[in-house]
C-alpha cells in the first residue's frame, strides 16, 4: 500500500481540527501509523509555522507553501486558509500534480471556482471539499433510504443552521466578517453546509429567492477597542430554493441564533414518508412511514428513531454504539479521500460539486440584491 504524504497549508482553528482528525484515522480503522503522514505545514509567518509543526509533530515548516508543493514526498495538500486565497493555492497545487483536499466554501465567487475546477480537471488530480456533515452516519443512511424510494415523491424540505457566534456587538472584526477576505458571511460559512446536504440528499438546485441581512453593521477593530469598522457580509440568510426537479424548500443560515450552539437541522417531507435529522442529537435519524398502521389504538404510525450512531463500515474503534462527533465526521471525510487517492476511486464531494454550491450562493446573493428569483444558469 502506497504511503501518502500530506502538506497542510494554513493552521488556524479548522487546521487544528483537520490535523487532529488525521491523527485519529489509524486508530479508527486499525491502520499502521505510517499509512500516511503530515509531511509539513505552511502558514503566513515563520514563527506560527514552526509552532504548528511542533504541535502536529512534523519536521517541515515554512511561510511559503510553494516549498511544500515542490517536495516529492508530498502527494496531497490540505488547504485550510481563509477563502480569499483558495484559488491561488489550489491552482498551484494542481499544476504541481498534487491531489487537493480543501475547506469549504470552494471560492470567493463563481468565476474563481470555475478556474479552480478547470485547473484540477486539466491536471487530472483527485479533489475533495470538506463538507464533513455528509459523513455523519445518519446522513449516509438518509441518502440510502431516499435512493431506495422510501419517501416516494418529495413534497418539500427544510434545512437550517443556526449558531450564536456573533450575537455580541463587542465581538471584534475578523476575516469572516470581511467580504474581501471571506467572500460572504453566514451564507458562505454555515449555509454552504446546508446547501450541500440538500444537494447530497435530493439533487441539483435550479433557482433561489433570498433575503440577507447584516444585523450588526459596526464592530470593534480589536478586542476592547473603541474604534470600529464596517461589517459588509450577511449575519442572516433566508432562502427559498427550487431543485432541478422543481421541488421547493427553505434554507436558513444565521450566526445570530441566540441560544443556538450548533443547531443544524434537516427535514424532508415525502408522499410515503419523512426524514428528520438534528446535529444536536447526531446518533439518530428520525423516520416517518405512512405505510405504518394508523389505528388510534394499536397502530405504529409516528416518527421513529433509527440508531445510526457510529455505523461506519470497517471501523474498529470506538465501539459503533458511541455518539458520532464533529471531529469524527472530519476523520471520515479525510479517510474517504485518502482511500480515493490510494485506490483511484471517485472522491465526492469534489471541487466540481463545490462549484454547484458556489453557484447556488451566488444566485442567493443576486436575488437578495435584486429582489427576485434567480436561476443558477444566470450566474455561470
**What CATH code is carried by the domain that includes residue 20?**
3.40.50.720
Residue 16 has a pLDDT of: 98
Closest by CA position to 234, among listed 259, 256, 250? 256
C-alpha cell of residue 237 = 440568510
Q: Does 338 map to a domain?
A: no
165 with 265, same domain: the answer is yes
Residue 167 has a pLDDT of: 97
42-45's contacts with Cβ under 8 Å and 24+ in sequence apart are 42/7, 42/8, 42/9, 42/10, 42/67, 42/68, 43/10, 43/11
Q: Does 376 map to a domain?
A: no
Task: Judge contact between 6 and 36, C-beta under 8 A.
Answer: yes
80 with 217, same domain: the answer is no
92 with 156, same domain: the answer is no
24 with 123, same domain: the answer is yes
The contacts of residue 158 (CB under 8 Å, 6+ apart) are 249, 250, 251, 265, 266, 267
Closest by CA position to 94, among listed 75, 120, 128, 72? 120
At 93, phi and psi to the nearest 5?
-65, -40
Domain edge (last residue) among 100, 117, 132:
132
Q: Does 173 map to a domain?
A: yes
Q: Does 119 map to a domain?
A: yes
Q: How many domains does the chain have?
A: 2
Q: Residues 54-83: what's their mean pLDDT?
A: 98
Q: Does 330 map to a domain?
A: no
Q: Does 43 map to a domain?
A: yes
Task: Judge if pTM exceeds 0.85.
Answer: yes
Q: Indicate the average pLDDT of the chain.
A: 97
Task: Judge contact between 63 and 90, C-beta under 8 A.
Answer: no
Residue spans of beta strands (DSSP E) within the chain? 4-9, 36-42, 60-62, 76-79, 99-103, 127-130, 154-162, 205-213, 218-220, 228-230, 236-243, 248-254, 263-270, 273-278, 284-289, 304-307, 374-375
Q: Does 302 map to a domain?
A: yes
Confidence class for position 298, pLDDT limits 50, 70, 90: low
108 with 9, same domain: the answer is yes
342-347's contacts with Cβ under 8 Å and 24+ in sequence apart are 342/1, 342/2, 342/4, 347/126, 347/127, 347/128
94 with 230, same domain: the answer is no
Please say if the pLDDT value at position 295 is more than 80.
no
Residue numbers of the domain that contains 68 = 4-132
Confidence class for position 140, pLDDT limits 50, 70, 90: very high
CA distance 26 to 34: 9
Confidence class for position 300, pLDDT limits 50, 70, 90: confident
Domain of residue 185, CATH code: 3.30.360.10
CA distance 161 to 191: 7
Q: Residues 246-260: what's their mean pLDDT?
A: 98
Please say if the pLDDT value at position 1 is more than 60.
no
217 with 309, same domain: the answer is yes
Task: Judge contact between 287 and 142, C-beta under 8 A.
Answer: no
178 with 281, same domain: the answer is yes
Residue 37 has a pLDDT of: 97
Domain edge (last residue) among 132, 165, 181:
132
Please say if the pLDDT value at position 296 is more than 90.
no
Q: Which helix (H) or strand (E) holds 125?
A: none
144 with 252, same domain: the answer is yes
Task: Judge contact between 223 and 172, C-beta under 8 A.
Answer: yes
For the stretch 147-164, pLDDT in tens is 999 999 999 999 999 999
The position carrying cell 412511514 is 289
Q: Does 41 map to a domain?
A: yes
152 with 294, same domain: the answer is yes
Domain edge (last residue) among 85, 100, 132:
132
For helices 326-343 and 13-29, the axis angle rounded to 10 degrees is: 70
Task: Judge contact between 257 and 265, C-beta under 8 A.
Answer: no
240 with 306, same domain: the answer is yes
Neighbour count for residue 59 (Cβ, 10 Å): 10
Residue 71 has a pLDDT of: 98
138 with 248, same domain: the answer is yes
Residue 7 has a pLDDT of: 98
CA distance 244 to 88: 32
Amino acid at each position: 500500500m502506497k504511503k501518502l504524504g500530506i502538506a497542510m497549508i494554513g493552521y488556524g482553528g479548522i487546521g487544528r481540527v483537520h490535523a487532529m482528525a488525521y491523527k485519529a484515522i489509524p486508530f479508527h480503522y486499525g491502520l499502521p501509523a505510517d499509512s500516511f503522514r503530515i509531511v509539513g505545514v505552511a502558514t503566513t509567518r515563520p514563527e506560527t509555522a514552526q509552532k504548528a509543526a511542533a504541535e502536529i509533530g512534523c519536521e517541515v515548516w515554512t511561510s511559503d507553501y510553494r516549498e511544500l508543493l515542490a517536495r516529492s514526498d508530498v502527494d496531497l495538500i490540505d488547504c485550510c486558509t481563509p477563502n480569499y486565497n483558495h484559488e491561488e493555492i489550489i491552482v498551484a497545487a494542481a499544476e504541481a500534480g498534487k491531489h487537493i483536499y480543501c475547506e469549504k466554501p470552494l471560492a470567493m465567487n463563481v468565476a474563481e471556482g470555475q478556474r479552480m475546477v478547470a485547473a484540477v480537471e486539466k491536471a487530472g488530480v483527485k479533489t475533495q471539499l470538506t463538507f464533513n456533515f455528509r459523513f455523519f452516519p445518519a446522513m449516509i443512511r438518509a441518502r440510502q433510504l431516499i435512493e431506495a424510494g422510501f419517501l416516494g415523491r418529495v413534497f418539500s424540505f427544510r434545512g437550517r443552521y443556526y449558531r450564536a457566534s456573533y450575537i455580541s456587538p463587542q465581538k471584534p472584526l475578523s476575516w469572516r466578517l470581511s467580504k474581501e477576505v471571506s467572500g460572504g458571511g453566514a451564507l458562505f460559512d454555515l449555509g454552504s453546509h446546508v446547501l450541500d446536504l440538500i444537494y447530497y440528499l435530493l439533487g441539483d438546485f435550479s433557482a433561489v429567492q433570498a433575503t440577507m441581512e447584516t444585523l450588526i453593521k459596526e464592530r470593534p477593530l480589536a478586542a476592547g477597542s473603541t474604534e470600529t469598522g464596517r461589517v459588509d457580509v450577511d449575519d442572516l440568510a433566508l432562502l427559498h430554493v427550487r431543485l432541478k426537479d422543481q421541488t421547493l424548500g427553505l434554507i436558513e443560515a444565521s450566526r445570530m441564533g441566540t441560544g443556538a450552539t450548533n443547531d443544524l437541522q434537516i427535514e424532508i417531507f415525502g408522499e410515503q414518508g419523512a426524514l428528520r435529522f438534528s446535529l444536536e442529537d447526531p446518533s439518530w435519524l428520525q423516520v416517518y412511514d405512512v405505510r405504518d398502521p394508523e389505528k388510534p389504538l394499536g397502530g405504529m404510525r409516528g416518527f421513529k428513531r433509527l440508531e445510526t450512531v457510529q455505523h461506519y463500515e470497517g471501523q474498529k474503534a470506538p465501539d459503533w454504539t458511541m455518539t458520532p462527533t464533529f471531529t469524527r465526521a472530519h476523520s471520515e471525510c479525510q479517510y474517504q479521500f485518502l482511500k480515493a487517492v490510494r485506490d483511484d476511486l471517485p472522491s465526492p464531494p469534489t471541487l466540481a460539486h463545490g462549484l454547484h454550491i458556489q453557484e447556488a450562493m451566488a444566485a442567493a446573493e443576486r436575488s437578495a440584491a435584486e429582489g427576485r428569483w434567480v436561476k443558477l444558469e444566470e450566474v455561470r
